[in-house]
Amino acid sequence: LAGACRIACNAGYGDCDANASNGCEVGLATDATHCGACGNACPATRVCSAGSCICPTGQVVCGGVCVNVNTSANHCGACGNVCRSGTCAAGRCVQAAQLALGADYSCARMSDNTVRCWGYNGYGHLGNGSGASRSTPAPVADFSGVAEVTAVSRHACARMMDGTVRC
């Protein structure tokens, strides 16, 4: 409009609501709704950093979406690398190398020598510290370097690569 006043903002700030009473209210360097310019909204999976919409730390863009290539079974280690086993750990596809069946739970030693367990967890035998039962395999905390796993009624044990046994 001819004769209308506009607020002059310092670099990196914008008057995105066109309300002179609150001045240059938006920091364009970090605001995901006004990233780099008023009205430039970042997609839901991205954050605003230095005025650009980027993936959060540890994620990359694959097919237009931010993903963690260390854990995504559809982009394991790199965009488009699909794990047929459905499990990605540390950017590598892993699969069950050995199964151990308990009374009402199961554990698997994975190809990366970790252990994942699922089933009833009333006695804490899934090793996740929660007591909650699981229908899908979940990593057992602090169990890496496993050579063999065995399960009995209410507990599981593992022979470690160094020859020690942990239950």
Question: What pTM does this model have?
Answer: 0.62
Distance CA(145)–CA(161), nearest Å, equals 5
**149 contacts: CB under 8 Å, gap ≥ 6:** 98, 100, 107, 108, 109, 115, 156, 157, 158, 159
Q: What is the pLDDT along the chain (167 residues), one digit of tens a residue?
A: 455 566 789 999 999 998 888 989 999 999 999 999 999 999 988 999 999 999 999 999 999 899 999 999 999 999 999 998 778 989 999 999 999 999 899 999 999 999 999 999 988 888 888 889 999 888 998 888 999 999 988 888 999 999 999 98
